[in-house]
Amino acid sequence: MKTTIDHDITKVKALRRMQGTALGLLGFAVLLFIIAIYFKIPILQAFSEAAMVGGIADWFAVVALFRHPLGIPIWHTAIIPTKKNEIGENLGNFVSEEFLNREKLEIKLDEFNFALKASDWLSQQENSNKVANVVAVNLIPGILKAIKDEDIKRFIQVQFKEKLEGVNLGNWVAVALEPLQKGDLKNQMLTNLLEVMSSELTNNKDLIRQKVKASTPFLSFGLADKSITEGVFNGLQDFLDEAKKPESTVRLKIDEYIFNFLEKVKNSEEMRIKINDMILGFIGKKEVQDYINGIWDEIKLSITTDLNKGDESSIKNSIAGLIQTFGNGLKEDPVMFEKINSFIKNDLLSVLLNNKKVIGDLISSTVKSWDGKEVSEKLELEIGKDLQYIRINGTLVGGIIGLIIYGVEWLYHLIL
pLDDT of residue 376: 86
Sign of CA dihedral 88, 93, 96, 99: negative
The answer to whether residue 190 sits within a structural domain is yes
Give the type of residue at 287: E
What pTM was estimated for this model as a whole? 0.47
Judged against a pLDDT cut of 70, whether residue 186 lies above it is answered with: no
The mean pLDDT value for 171-196 works out to 66
In this predicted model, what pLDDT tens digit does every residue of 280-335 receive, in sequence order? Answer: 666 667 776 777 777 788 888 888 888 888 888 898 899 989 888 888 888 788 88
In 40-113, which residue ranges form alpha helices assigned H by DSSP? 42-66, 79-82, 84-94, 102-112
In this predicted model, what pLDDT tens digit does every residue of 119-164 receive, in sequence order? Answer: 888 888 888 888 888 888 888 888 888 888 888 777 777 777 666 6
Give the angle 277-281-285 at the CA atoms, nearest 5°. 170
The answer to whether residue 163 sits within a structural domain is no
The answer to whether residue 36 sits within a structural domain is yes
218 sits in which H/E element: none
Angstrom distance (rounded) from CA 45 to CA 19: 25
- Cβ-based burial of 82 (10 A; exposed 0-12, middle 13-18, buried ≥19): middle
Higher-pLDDT residue of 70, 6 = 70
In this prediction, what percent of the chain has a pLDDT beyond 90?
18
Total number of domains constituting the chain? 2
Quick count: other Cβ atoms within 10 Å of Cβ 80? 19
Q: Which domain holds residue 268?
A: 169-276
Which residues are within 8 A (CB) of 264 and not within 5 positions of it... i.e. 6 or more apart?
A: 271
Higher-pLDDT residue of 224, 356 = 356
Q: DSSP state, 311? A: G
3-state helix, strand, coil in the chain (%, to 5): 90, 0, 10
SS3 state at 1:
coil
Q: DSSP state, 222? A: T
136 contacts 308 by C-beta, under 8 angstroms: no
Of 370, 384, 387, nearest to 81 by C-alpha is: 370
Q: Which of 260, 276, 292 is the C-terminal boundary of a domain? A: 276
Sign of CA dihedral 259, 261, 265, 269: positive
pLDDT of residue 170: 59
Alpha-carbon Rg for the chain, nearest whole angstrom, is 46
In this predicted model, what pLDDT tens digit does every residue of 196-218 receive, in sequence order? Answer: 887 877 787 777 677 766 666 55
Angstrom distance (rounded) from CA 157 to CA 291: 10
The answer to whether residue 201 sits within a structural domain is yes
In this predicted model, what pLDDT tens digit does every residue of 384-403 receive, in sequence order? Answer: 889 999 999 999 999 999 99
In this predicted model, what pLDDT tens digit does every residue of 66-77 receive, in sequence order? Answer: 989 988 888 888
pLDDT of residue 381: 87
In this prediction, what percent of the chain has a pLDDT beyond 70?
82
Judged against a pLDDT cut of 70, whether residue 225 lies above it is answered with: no
In this predicted model, what pLDDT tens digit does every residue of 340-352 receive, in sequence order? Answer: 888 777 887 788 7
Q: Which of 42-56, 139-153, 187-201, 344-358 has the lowest mean pLDDT?
A: 187-201
Which residues are within 8 A (CB) of 160 and not within 5 positions of it... i.e. 6 or more apart?
A: 283, 292
Q: Which of 276, 302, 323 is the C-terminal boundary of a domain? A: 276
The mean pLDDT value for 15-23 works out to 93
Angstrom distance (rounded) from CA 376 to CA 389: 19
Q: What is the mean pLDDT of the chain?
A: 80
pLDDT of residue 391: 93
pLDDT of residue 219: 41
pLDDT of residue 189: 73
Quick count: other Cβ atoms within 10 Å of Cβ 243? 22
Q: How far is CA 48 from the centre of its chain?
A: 64
pLDDT of residue 26: 94
pLDDT of residue 342: 82
67 contacts 77 by C-beta, under 8 angstroms: yes
The answer to whether residue 176 sits within a structural domain is yes
The answer to whether residue 113 sits within a structural domain is no
Which residues are within 8 A (CB) of 32 and not within 5 positions of it... i.e. 6 or more apart?
A: 44, 47, 48, 51
Judged against a pLDDT cut of 60, whether residue 220 lies above it is answered with: no
| Cα 351 to Cα 99, 115, 280, distances in angstroms | 14, 19, 52
Give the angle 98-87-89 at the CA atoms, nearest 5°. 60
Q: How confident is the model at residue 256 (pLDDT cuts 50, 70, 90)?
A: confident
The answer to whether residue 356 sits within a structural domain is no
178 sits in which H/E element: none
Higher-pLDDT residue of 221, 104 = 104
The mean pLDDT value for 81-104 works out to 83
pLDDT of residue 174: 59
Q: Which of 251, 276, 301 is the C-terminal boundary of a domain? A: 276
The answer to whether residue 313 sits within a structural domain is no
Q: How confident is the model at residue 91 (pLDDT cuts 50, 70, 90)?
A: confident
Q: DSSP state, 100? A: S
pLDDT of residue 162: 66
Q: How confident is the model at residue 32 (pLDDT cuts 50, 70, 90)?
A: very high
SS3 state at 90:
helix
